[in-house]
Chain A
Amino acid sequence: MAWYRGVTPPLVLAIIVAFIILFSYFYPGTFVDQLSSTIVNWVIIIGALMIWTGLINLLRFSVREVRRKVPGRWYLALFQVCLIAVMLISGFGEGPGSTAKGAKTVIMWLYNNYYIWAELALAGLSGLWTVTAAYRAFRARSLEAFIFLLGAVFVLMRYAPVGGAIWIGFPIVGGWIIYQPFTAMLRALVIAGGIGIIAYAARFYMGKERQAFGMRG
């Protein structure tokens, strides 16, 4: 197949925009730079619109579950739709200043007294699982597992506020594990990821990466 057959207007537009952003890095203060700034501002606006796309999608999904009366889920979906409606009505009804400092509004009351604590309660459950996971999974079955376990104990005690007070070696050894071998490994991952992004960008600039447009690459 000829290379130009798969070239579509959205793909051409995306490649042009990508080149403008790329060149703006090398030519600051030029027309390309100004154009790049405008495009970046557009992205901010599009990003704000994306929140609405997500909201509509979530509403469609929830309403479908309520209509079909999906066992065990429909009432949760209904609760979710009601919460979205309450948040939207209170947010829009009380206007742009409703989330401003010191605002005594329904949306802020809901946010401060319901939303944040519900999220925190969910996140807090991991505190229980961590203990049982440590009890069941951290077994020194081999020399490698023992070394891993020893490292984990040092790092654990480094992050314990009392760790350094029990033995000064905990923060020293734990810190060494975190900032030397562990960070080196993470940097290797980041560098590998960076090389991967360059390869991806090269494919994109050549028009070979089309999955973002719903086409096969």
Chain B
Amino acid sequence: MAEEWYEKVGRIPRKVMYALTLIILIVPLFVSFALPVHISSETRIMYETIEKLRGTGKRVLFIACTIAAHWGEFYHMYFAIFQHIFLLENVKLIIVPVASPDAPALTWMALDAISNPLNKQYGVDYAVLTFLPDPTAAFASMAENFRATFTADLSGTPIDKLPVMEGVYTLSDFDVIITADVAAAAPQVARIFYPRFPDKTYFGLVLAGAVMMYLPFHGTVFKSALVGPRSAAEYQILYGGPYSGAVRQMDIYSAYHLFILIAIILGNIPFIARKISRRRK
């Protein structure tokens, strides 16, 4: 008996699926489809909150806990946040690498891509403080006495010599606290920072695949979060670039997501067709 067409659809070899995936990922690199990007409410909330800091002289604390394996997603989010803050007049950025030994180098990588073209001066507009290895101890120490936790920045310059650190003594001296990767540090923010400083605005940056680690704290501890490069692209569209490349990559993301949807439909065709065929018989 000849094999039904739908049985063949249900047995597409794995290698063919891999090849199709590669084609789906590569083609948008060369051909721009300019697929529309929908701006989510989470991204808009974060953008509007940071935008309101413009010209106020307020400070943003950025806690970097990202590992290198996730940098593909985080780079665009770091880029978007740093660039937006640097585009705002008179907003100071203080970065603390925590937990991940990769965090200091990754932070520099994002800063190097942005700070110089925007004429931002290290020590005056922003600073990267000493790396703290243990997340719980780092958060506890920062909550206890922020100033005493750090004696120097990452290059060894005493923090008293950094103008950006003038008037910074406790976490109360920051207005917005952003944690990346929030999947790794959300419990520390919720347990240590939030009970002592509930009036601060907390945001997070999180991988699309790790959003479940952040969600229990969404809307309670954290006001909002950027979730993956899609959110970074939305954010960059909101502040108007220049972009890190995330917006350009959205064609690839859209094509990939649509291909997963097609794969699900293809996988279900033989199953449903078999059921219909059985009923007819």
User: A interface vs B, CB < 8 Å?
Assistant: 33, 36-37, 40-41, 43-44, 46-48, 50-51, 96-97, 99-102, 108, 111-112, 115-116, 119-120, 122-124, 127-128, 130-132, 134-141, 149, 152-153, 156-157, 159-165, 171, 175, 178-179, 182-183, 186-187, 189-190
Contact = CB atoms under 8 A, between A and B. Distances in A.
Indicate the member of B18, B25, B212, B215 with the most A CB atoms within 10 Å.
B215
Interface of B: 12, 14, 17-18, 20-22, 25, 35-38, 40-41, 67-72, 101-102, 104-106, 108-109, 111-112, 122, 128, 132-134, 136-138, 140-141, 144-145, 148, 154-156, 208, 211-212, 215-216, 218-219, 227-228, 230, 233-234, 250, 253-254, 256-261, 263-264, 266-268, 271-272
A165 B69 contact: no
Contacts of B67: 119
A101 B108 contact: yes
11 contacts: A43-B137, A51-B133, A131-B17, A152-B264, A156-B261, A161-B35, A161-B36, A161-B230, A161-B233, A165-B37, A175-B40
Given A131-B21, A149-B264, 16 more contacts: A40-B144, A41-B137, A100-B108, A112-B105, A120-B72, A123-B69, A130-B260, A132-B263, A138-B264, A160-B253, A161-B36, A161-B233, A165-B35, A175-B40, A179-B219, A186-B216
B69 to A, nearest CB: 4
Contacts of A131: 17-18, 20-21, 259-260, 263
A179 B260 contact: no
Contacts of A46: 134
A40 B142 CA distance: 10
A43 B135 CA distance: 10
Given A47-B133, A161-B250, A156 B257 contact: yes
Nearest to A118: B68
Contacts of B264: 134-135, 138, 149, 152-153
A100 B259 contact: no
B261 A187 contact: no
Given A97-B155, A140-B272, A178-B215, A135 B144 contact: no
Indicate the member of A50, A100, A127, A135 with the most B CB atoms within 10 Å.
A135
A134 B267 contact: yes
